[in-house]
Chain A
Amino acid sequence: MNHNYQKDISGCGLTGLISRKRRPISGSEIVKSLCLMTDRGNGLGAGYAAYGIYPEFKDFYAFHIMYDEPTVKRTVEDYLKSNYHIEKVEEIPTKAVKAIPISPMLVRYFVSPLKERLAGEQEETDFVVNTVMKVNSEIDGAYIFSSGKNMGAFKGVGNPSDIADFFRIEEYEGYIWTAHTRFPTNTPGWWGGAHPFTLLDWSIVHNGEISSYGINKRYLEMYGYKLALLTDTEVVAYLLDLLIRRHGLSIPVACLALASPFWKNIDQRDPEEREALTALRQTYGSALLNGPFSVLFGHSNGLVGINDRIKLRPLVAAIKGDVTYMASEESAIRAICPDPQKVWAPRAGEPVIVNLED
């Protein structure tokens, strides 16, 4: 367990949307929304995540991998070949953008784990998580920045519109989108450091600093997660994976663990609910996200927005038709939805949970 790391700190703006009816929405929408919040980023990182973009490969894990140089690519590909069936490999389509003179090699793979490589009762998802952990923490110069099915993250160092142009975001259509513009306080200039952070189908965009990072990290390490990126956001992704996928908590209950009600509030509940909430806090104290944050997390079935227990970071939500929008600022929503039916500011620690219709 390495403690001698340099933690990355950044501020930012975020936005996201979901069509409950799974209507494909053009990436140009989310780009427009994000680009409105110019002052929340400083051009040192932006990214997008979209769900429903790979319908023809929806049964395969879509690995988006960035490589610093070709030899690393060979190492990773050898590893993938011996563990996965690879349905398709291609470069992630990009466009030359003046403001982005250099970029890592960006390749995507549609894969499924080889059955014979799964140990005993091992879940396929655990196998994929292990691959992501292994590549990201052990192979220098390679980084899997997206690993879900029928979804993908696109991110890099640059401002929101340049990154969008570079990755040709407007050419994708998805039914869930999240996006992020970043304001890092240092300039690591590493593409992997931009948001969204993803693991399997989880994608996280996050605003604020998680002051409990140190213990969240050590807590996750106990469950085998390797925190390679040294950013707050990574812990959110892994905590969701642990609580929801591995521990089987429902999304609302997981949110109660990550942004727990105060004891004062818990103590006022009915005995049964008090007992349940107390047990959650007792058990998941080390998973509590403390400090200012607002987070959007996408997953294969929906989109969730949540902010910290005393609302130190902003989050606004709006609805129009079957689409729910969430963003750091109302204007970012209005930029693409001028007349929402309802606009509201979620209360501190109370998640906005939107699920796709079947």
Chain B
Amino acid sequence: MFKSLAPPDYLATIDREKCIRCKRCIQNCGWNVYSWGGDKVLIDTFKCVKCLRCYHYCPEEAIEIKDNPTKFKQNAYWSFNNIKNIKKQAETGGIPLTGMGSDMPYPILFDNLLIDACQVTNPSIDPLREPMELRTYLGKKPSNVKVEKTKDGKLKLAEKMPPQIKLDLPIIFSPMSYGSISLNAQKVLATAAKACGIVMNTGEGGLHEDLFPYRSNIIVQVASGRFGVNPEYLNAGVAVEIKIGQGAKPGIGGHLPGEKIPLEVAKTRMIPVGTDAISPAPQHDIYSIEDLRQLIYAIKETTNYKPVSVKIAAVHNVAAIASGVVRAGADIVYIDGFRGGTGAAPSIIRDHLGIPIEHALAAVDDRLRQEGIRNEASIIAAGGIRSSADVAKAIALGADAVGIGTAALITMGCTTCGKCYTGNCSWGITTQRPELTARLDPEVFGDRLTNLIHAWEHELKEILGALGINSIESLRGNRERLRGVGLDSFTLDILGVKPAGR
């Protein structure tokens, strides 16, 4: 009997001449690709996901991970994944799972947008030597401010502002729960968030006590599973997020199997060890928009009115939905595009449901403006932000800030192999296996993530400088400074962006 009719994606190979039989590859691989054969390393290439842990830890550069040349016949219509999934489904009758954001070749609008720069009629600004401000406040803003003068002629606010989350730059770390990622990975996010003056989001897995020192840089999440939710938790961070949906799997719940619920995860989620952690598809106290309002205000009452964020997936009617969310009382609308990452999702869902963040963001920002309520909530755009250029473009389209998840994980070693759902992550990110999570030193990788954010901060300042503006609020929603290339007029119309040359 053959092994499987779905051939392996990759061929893990070892140059036997170079190999010194140190067995580091065996130790490092979380997927058991390598084993010891008595005199040499044996390879089960079916298990290889090309996470490249072995490659990086081989002292002799003896390892090479090749794309399997013997996959299937090239076919412009039937992709490798189409055929492989059919084979797998024929063998198992199951739904193929996947991790990370969709890599399907849909158009990437970010790559069809270009940013303006100054020439002559307005001066560009040197961001290193002149002031350049990225500070961002998330939360509901009044439409106007009442200011009065004190006796000594100083200004005084007559009516207090609604609560705001202060960010040193318009980036936050997207929600990733303890359970979907390791505690060490969450610690990396927390230390970097603190160092960079931004926030991380717990995801729906509760808040581990090790993260308590970082509470002023944490948003806690409430989702359909209500894991770890109690009054202390709701009050633990700077804001509370209600998760309605996720870009990678809109309308789909989650299921963390019992074998992935060791003691610490169980404690944090406030469930028994070894029980399944199921997140139902909807929140069962929200079947309609007025129910969302009820939950938002329940949380506000419990937290003495901390800002409440509502995370929704970018779906077809996202503009109307977001408008309803804002009218329901959300202080922040978090929109997750279909490219957004996931720890586990059916690939058919991930790759075929939802819409890109670029369209969704533009539509939501427009709608909120048309309805005169854009100031009522901040917009966080997420789902496929890959660089500071994407950040700048998202902000120009109308986002107050962006959420990054995958980019943050890449600083921890992630190679976007997409096998997060296996729990075998050799980099110690999407796993709870102690021998693997121990590899992720929060301090070392916290510095690396901090470096990334600081580098993007500098890049954003360079972009603003080229645009001749010295404050991020002058880029926010300033679509006049974007141009589309190769986009049809419908798309340009949705984006509210002129074509290059006009």
The chain A residues found within 8 Å of chain B, CB to CB, are 1, 3-7, 9, 11, 185, 208-209, 211-215, 217-219, 221-223, 243, 246-250, 253, 256, 260, 262-264, 270, 272-273, 275-286, 288, 290-292, 309-310, 312
List A contacts of B493 (CB < 8 A).
3-4
Interface: B479 (CB within 8 A): yes
Tell me whether A7 and B480 are in contact (CB under 8 A): yes
Tell me whether B473 and A285 are in contact (CB under 8 A): yes
Tell me whether A3 and B479 are in contact (CB under 8 A): yes
Tell me whether B477 and A247 are in contact (CB under 8 A): no
By beta carbon, the residue of chain B nearest A285 is B473
Known: A214-B481, A249-B144. A9 touches B502 (CB 8 A): no
A248 to B148, CA, bound (A): 11
Tell me whether A213 and B480 are in contact (CB under 8 A): yes
List B contacts of A281 (CB < 8 A).
473
A218 to B473, CA, bound (A): 13
List B contacts of A5 (CB < 8 A).
498
Interface: B164 (CB within 8 A): yes
Partner of B121, one of A185, A222, A290: A185
Most buried by A among B131, B150, B474, B492: B474
Tell me whether B130 and A310 are in contact (CB under 8 A): yes
Interface: B157 (CB within 8 A): yes
Tell me whether B122 and A273 are in contact (CB under 8 A): no
List 5 A-B pairs, minimum CB-CB distance, nearest first: A214-B480, A285-B473, A212-B474, A290-B474, A247-B144
Among listed B7-15, B84-92, B407-415, B463-471, interface-contacting one: B463-471
Tell me whether B147 and A253 are in contact (CB under 8 A): yes
List B contacts of A286 (CB < 8 A).
473, 476-477
A270 to B152, CA, bound (A): 12
Measured CB to CB, the closest approach of chain B to A349, in angstroms, equals: 11
Tell me whether A264 and B144 are in contact (CB under 8 A): no
Known: A208-B122, A215-B478, A283-B142. A3 touches B155 (CB 8 A): no
The interface size bin for chain B is 35 or more
* A-B residue pairs in contact (CB < 8 Å), sample of 23: A3-B493, A3-B497, A4-B493, A7-B480, A9-B121, A209-B122, A211-B468, A211-B481, A214-B480, A215-B477, A218-B478, A249-B145, A256-B155, A260-B471, A272-B155, A275-B156, A275-B161, A279-B147, A281-B473, A286-B473, A286-B476, A288-B473, A312-B123
Known: A4-B502, A248-B144, A283-B141. A262 touches B131 (CB 8 A): yes
A185 to B121, CA, bound (A): 8
Tell me whether B470 and A222 are in contact (CB under 8 A): no
List A contacts of B473 (CB < 8 A).
215, 281, 285-286, 288
A300 to B474, CA, bound (A): 30
Known: A3-B498, A310-B130. A211 touches B118 (CB 8 A): yes
Interface: B370 (CB within 8 A): yes
Tell me whether A211 and B147 are in contact (CB under 8 A): no
Interface: B154 (CB within 8 A): yes
Measured CB to CB, the closest approach of chain B to A164, in angstroms, equals: 26
Most buried by A among B154, B366, B374, B480: B480
Tell me whether A282 and B141 are in contact (CB under 8 A): yes
Tell me whether A291 and B469 are in contact (CB under 8 A): yes
List B contacts of A310 (CB < 8 A).
125, 130-131, 470
By beta carbon, the residue of chain B nearest A272 is B156
Other than the given A208-B122, A211-B474, A282-B161, 19 more pairs (CB < 8 A) read A1-B496, A3-B496, A6-B502, A185-B120, A214-B478, A218-B479, A256-B155, A276-B147, A279-B147, A282-B137, A283-B144, A286-B477, A288-B471, A290-B468, A290-B474, A292-B122, A309-B470, A310-B131, A312-B123
Tell me whether A1 and B369 are in contact (CB under 8 A): yes
By beta carbon, the residue of chain A nearest B496 is A3
Tell me whether B156 and A217 are in contact (CB under 8 A): no
Which B105-159 residues have C-beta < 8 A from chain A?
A: 118, 120-123, 125, 130-131, 133, 135, 137, 141-147, 150, 154-157
Partner of B155, one of A253, A284, A285: A253
Measured CB to CB, the closest approach of chain A to B465, in angstroms, equals: 11
List B contacts of A211 (CB < 8 A).
118, 122, 467-469, 474, 481
A270 to B156, CA, bound (A): 10
A253 to B158, CA, bound (A): 13
Tell me whether A291 and B468 are in contact (CB under 8 A): yes
Measured CB to CB, the closest approach of chain B to A293, in angstroms, equals: 9
List B contacts of A282 (CB < 8 A).
137, 141, 161, 164
Interface: B37 (CB within 8 A): no
By beta carbon, the residue of chain A nearest B369 is A222
Tell me whether B145 and A280 are in contact (CB under 8 A): yes
By beta carbon, the residue of chain A nearest B157 is A276
Tell me whether A218 and B369 are in contact (CB under 8 A): yes
Tell me whether B122 and A215 are in contact (CB under 8 A): no
Tell me whether B369 and A279 are in contact (CB under 8 A): no
Interface: B38 (CB within 8 A): no
List A contacts of B372 (CB < 8 A).
222-223
Tell me whether B144 and A212 are in contact (CB under 8 A): no
Tell me whether A270 and B121 are in contact (CB under 8 A): no
List A contacts of B157 (CB < 8 A).
272, 275-276, 279
By beta carbon, the residue of chain A nearest B131 is A262
Interface: B422 (CB within 8 A): no
Measured CB to CB, the closest approach of chain A to B154, in angstroms, equals: 5
List A contacts of B147 (CB < 8 A).
249-250, 253, 276, 279-280
Tell me whether B131 and A215 are in contact (CB under 8 A): no
Partner of A214, one of B144, B146, B161, B477: B477
Measured CB to CB, the closest approach of chain B to A182, in angstroms, equals: 13
List A contacts of B123 (CB < 8 A).
292, 312
Which B148-182 residues have C-beta < 8 A from chain A?
A: 150, 154-157, 161, 164
By beta carbon, the residue of chain B nearest A208 is B122
Which B306-350 residues have C-beta < 8 A from chain A?
A: none
Tell me whether A11 and B474 are in contact (CB under 8 A): no
A262 to B130, CA, bound (A): 11
List B contacts of A284 (CB < 8 A).
145
List B contacts of A283 (CB < 8 A).
141-145, 161, 375
Partner of A279, one of B161, B468, B496: B161
Known: A215-B478, A279-B157. A291 touches B122 (CB 8 A): yes
Measured CB to CB, the closest approach of chain B to A24, in angstroms, equals: 33
Known: A3-B497, A4-B498. A212 touches B469 (CB 8 A): yes
Measured CB to CB, the closest approach of chain A to B150, in angstroms, equals: 7
Most buried by B among A185, A264, A272: A272
Which B340-372 residues have C-beta < 8 A from chain A?
A: 366, 369-370, 372
Most buried by B among A6, A222, A223, A277: A222
Known: A209-B122, A280-B145, A291-B469. A264 touches B131 (CB 8 A): yes
By beta carbon, the residue of chain A nearest B475 is A215
A212 to B156, CA, bound (A): 28
A282 to B155, CA, bound (A): 16
A288 to B469, CA, bound (A): 10
Tell me whether A212 and B155 are in contact (CB under 8 A): no
Most buried by A among B121, B131, B143, B498: B121
By beta carbon, the residue of chain B nearest A11 is B121
List B contacts of A291 (CB < 8 A).
122, 468-469, 474
Measured CB to CB, the closest approach of chain B to A267, in angstroms, equals: 10
